[in-house]
Chain A
Amino acid sequence: MAAETRPKRPFRWHIAVFLAPAVLVYTAIMILPLAGTLQLSLFRNIEQHQVFVGLANFRTLFGDPNWSVGFWNALRNNTWFFVIHMVVQNPIGVMLAALLSSPKLRFAAFYRTAIFVPTILSFVIVGFAWKLILSPLWGVAPHLMDLVGLKSLFTPWLGKEQYALTALSLISVWQFVGIPMMLIYAALLSIPEEVIEAAECDGITGMSQFWKIKLPLILPSIGIISILTFVGNFNAFDLIYTAQGALAGPNYSTDILGTFLYRAFFGFQLQTGDPNMGAAIATMMFLIILGGVCVYLFLVQTRLRRYQF
């Protein structure tokens, strides 16, 4: 093609055409509902009519102890849920990935699949299976602990206020540990051989090779995993709902934002749903997640050092 300079470039329709499907689908199933939720949270149903009330729903949520106690409790529980994932799931995921990427390991493909399988199981299956495993009546957990003489340590974890949330967090860790493992595994495999060889030439091998060479190289992946965990945990709902029910017992000790939202929005038993208050809670969840992601993007992501090979 001759490089003639035209006075006016024709509008490049193909860009719009190619973008259209994604934009339309994303708008229809993400942006519109989100806007709808935000709008709903500013209204209130007064005598069968939706009336604009400004921020009154949020004032109720934070000012009325009937709502605020539940909200702060849910937020606290949710934070603990997230902390457990960060300190248990992600380090174990990194460790498993490091072990898997070791060339000496046999049956690596088998382990990789076995550890990843729970991730694709339905929450319902995971919830019920663990409820049965931990059941004090017919569960295998008390029997297995009896075999190794630890029966005295068994308690009905899911029914005790002080343990239930931690137990559920660990169940969730069990289910999802495959995801950080896979991501880190992929990151480890992408480290070029030359880098490793150079390290070996310098006498860095074994554990110190992992700490000094590989870990800095996979830090961006760990950052991504952390943010995925954060978003996933603050949106969690299914596991608690299947294992503990919508009231997130005992005594709301496993209530997280998702279950709190569910009860408010859809109601439960004799409690009638209040979509407006539900939307207010959903908006808060959105803001919390948005805030967390922003902190990551602007404060952490920009400071991470990236290495180009």
Chain B
Amino acid sequence: MTTKLLTALLLGTSILGTAGLAHADDVTLNIESWRGDDLAIWKDKLIPAFEAKNPGIKVVFAPSAPTEYDAALGAKLAAGSAGDLITCRPFDKSLELFKKGNLADLSALPGMENFSPVAKAAWQTDDGKSSFCVPMASVIHGFIYNKDAFDKLGLKVPTTRDEFFAALDKIKADGTYIPLAMGTKDLWEAATMGYQNIGPNYWKGEEGRAALIKGDQKLTDKDWVAPYEELAKWKPYLGDGFEAQTYPDSQNLFTLGRAAIYPAGSWEIGLFNTQAQFKMGAFPPPVEKAGDTCYISDHTDIGMGLNAASKNAGAAKTFLSWVASPDFATIYANALPGFFSLNSTPVKMADPLAQEFVSWRDKCKSTIRSTYQILSRGTPNLENETWVESANVINGTDTPEAAAKKLQTGLDSWYKPGK
């Protein structure tokens, strides 16, 4: 009964919401999204740009709250009232929709050739044969640093691990700044900004990630334990009471100028630009020796797919091809610094910090977070366990080896590669 009521309500809102906008001959496309923050960008920049080029197609961006998105979308799809275009979460959530037949196969969509296989991996079947969402944006991991602090202490931007730790030692010895702004209270900082940030340099990005999925490598192998060993070494450089420091605490510590280096994701750029009163720079995770190939986590985060039940599939495909074009990428990446286009065509961006981040794509190899594809489907959940164990390693609760062993044991209990 409640489902029916909910469905009726959702149906009601979607009809009422669009009723006033439909014109006689125009096709109206509705976009489902959780990115309410981007409403202004879609309304003022992206949609006008598309409509100017494609008369006769109207586009409406209709976001819902991030926490409700998946449930609301599921209900709308079941009731047949979902929008024509669906913003895709990466990996399993979208894959499930595709398997249920809610998302159309877009492998042959013009414009898909603009994306690299890594970019498409988040919205493909496990065998990589069908793609069902156009990749829109990714976030890149690295370190953002306080340029003023570096100048004052006469520090060079570190490129190798030894230089990195030498710089941390110097900042610590000086005492003005907290060397690293990171806490372990919220757990995911340690995993996402720590382990997944520095890890790809050890496990060689895609090579290691693919081997892990195939079962050729284990989390207890040297390349996967080594990032934990480095994380354990971060402990003395974190602020006092980092065990109870939350993610917003870390952000504030850095933007208030009290910390020198912030292990970051590029999504911070927008916020940091408005809050920090000092100059900022960024550097990729340091490599072992100068000249080594560097690997960065260039994590696919958001894509767009076609509702298989859409009545305007033709117009929707035109729109998706446009989303796959460099035009869209330029507007989107500039409006949202830190969310980088996945398009193979380089995008010109005005923001210097965003430029710095994206420049790493040329010299480093991109990969995505190791736990996201396939490996987090079972119980215990590898991603969640990685959060807990990364924090444990930094807190000193677990040794790197013990943490890796726990993760591998958990994974082994349900994941049998090669089947």
- List the interface of chain A (C-beta within 8 A of B): 64, 66-67, 131, 134-138, 142, 155-161, 244-245, 247, 249-252, 263, 268-272, 274, 277
B273 interfacial contact with A, CB 8 Å:
no
**Complex contact B384–A131 (CB within 8 A):** no
Q: With a CB–CB cut-off of 8 A, which chain B residues contact A249?
A: 184-187, 388, 391
Q: How far is the CA of A213 from the CA of B72 in the complex (A)?
A: 60
Name the one of B187, B239, B382 contacting A137, with C-beta atoms under 8 angstroms.
Answer: B239
**Complex contact A157–B244 (CB within 8 A):** yes
Q: With a CB–CB cut-off of 8 A, which chain A residues contact B398?
A: 251
Q: How far is the CA of A280 from the CA of B243 in the complex (A)?
A: 33
Give 10 nearest A-B pairs by CB, closest first.
Answer: A136-B241, A159-B243, A156-B244, A159-B244, A271-B381, A156-B241, A270-B376, A270-B383, A156-B243, A158-B244
**Complex contact A270–B239 (CB within 8 A):** no
B392 interfacial contact with A, CB 8 Å:
yes
**Complex contact A247–B384 (CB within 8 A):** yes
Q: With a CB–CB cut-off of 8 A, which chain B residues contact A268?
A: 381, 384
Name the one of B245, B371, B388, B391 contacting A136, with C-beta atoms under 8 angstroms.
Answer: B245
**Complex contact B384–A269 (CB within 8 A):** yes
Question: By the criterion of a CB under 8 Å from any partner CB, how many residues of chain B are at the interface?
Answer: 39
**Complex contact B253–A250 (CB within 8 A):** no
**Complex contact B245–A251 (CB within 8 A):** no
Q: How far is the CA of A155 from the CA of B240 in the complex (A)?
A: 9
Name the one of B243, B246, B380, B391 contacting A66, with C-beta atoms under 8 angstroms.
Answer: B380
**Chain B residue nearest to A247 in the complex (CB):** B187
- Known contacts A137-B249, A245-B187, A250-B184; is-contact A159 B241 (Cβ 8 Å): yes
**Complex contact A250–B246 (CB within 8 A):** no
B397 interfacial contact with A, CB 8 Å:
yes
**Complex contact A250–B384 (CB within 8 A):** no
B92 interfacial contact with A, CB 8 Å:
yes
**Complex contact A251–B391 (CB within 8 A):** yes
**Complex contact A250–B391 (CB within 8 A):** yes
A-facing residues in B203-256 (Cβ within 8 Å): 239-246, 249, 252-253
**Complex contact A271–B384 (CB within 8 A):** yes
Closest Cβ of chain A to B12, distance in Å, is 25
Q: With a CB–CB cut-off of 8 A, which chain A residues contact B252?
A: 137
Closest Cβ of chain A to B68, distance in Å, is 13
Q: How far is the CA of A76 from the CA of B312 in the complex (A)?
A: 56
Q: With a CB–CB cut-off of 8 A, which chain A residues contact B413?
A: 64, 66
B410 interfacial contact with A, CB 8 Å:
yes
**Complex contact B241–A252 (CB within 8 A):** no
B408 interfacial contact with A, CB 8 Å:
no
**Complex contact A250–B397 (CB within 8 A):** yes
B360 interfacial contact with A, CB 8 Å:
no
Q: With a CB–CB cut-off of 8 A, which chain B residues contact A277?
A: 379
**Complex contact A247–B249 (CB within 8 A):** no
B330 interfacial contact with A, CB 8 Å:
no
**Complex contact A159–B384 (CB within 8 A):** no
**Complex contact A270–B384 (CB within 8 A):** yes
Q: How far is the CA of A148 from the CA of B361 in the complex (A)?
A: 54
B150 interfacial contact with A, CB 8 Å:
no
Name the one of A155, A244, A271 contacting B376, with C-beta atoms under 8 angstroms.
Answer: A271
**Chain B residue nearest to A160 in the complex (CB):** B243
Given A158-B244, A249-B185, A251-B398, 18 new contacts (CB under 8 A): A66-B380, A66-B414, A135-B245, A142-B241, A156-B241, A156-B242, A156-B243, A159-B242, A250-B395, A251-B395, A251-B397, A268-B381, A269-B381, A270-B376, A270-B382, A271-B381, A271-B384, A277-B379
Q: With a CB–CB cut-off of 8 A, which chain B residues contact A270?
A: 91-92, 371-372, 376, 381-384
Q: How far is the CA of A260 from the CA of B377 in the complex (A)?
A: 18
Closest Cβ of chain A to B369, distance in Å, is 10
B387 interfacial contact with A, CB 8 Å:
yes
A-facing residues in B357-388 (Cβ within 8 Å): 371-372, 376-377, 379-384, 387-388
Q: With a CB–CB cut-off of 8 A, which chain A residues contact B242?
A: 136, 156, 159
Q: With a CB–CB cut-off of 8 A, which chain A residues contact B397?
A: 161, 250-251
Q: How far is the CA of A158 from the CA of B183 in the complex (A)?
A: 12
Q: How far is the CA of A271 from the CA of B381 in the complex (A)?
A: 6
Interface centre among B92, B241, B253 (most CB of A within 10 A): B241
**Chain A residue nearest to B377 in the complex (CB):** A272
**Complex contact B395–A161 (CB within 8 A):** yes
**Chain B residue nearest to A134 in the complex (CB):** B244
Q: With a CB–CB cut-off of 8 A, which chain A residues contact B249?
A: 135, 137-138
**Chain A residue nearest to B246 in the complex (CB):** A131
**Complex contact A66–B376 (CB within 8 A):** no
**Chain B residue nearest to A65 in the complex (CB):** B413
**Complex contact B376–A159 (CB within 8 A):** no
**Complex contact B410–A66 (CB within 8 A):** yes
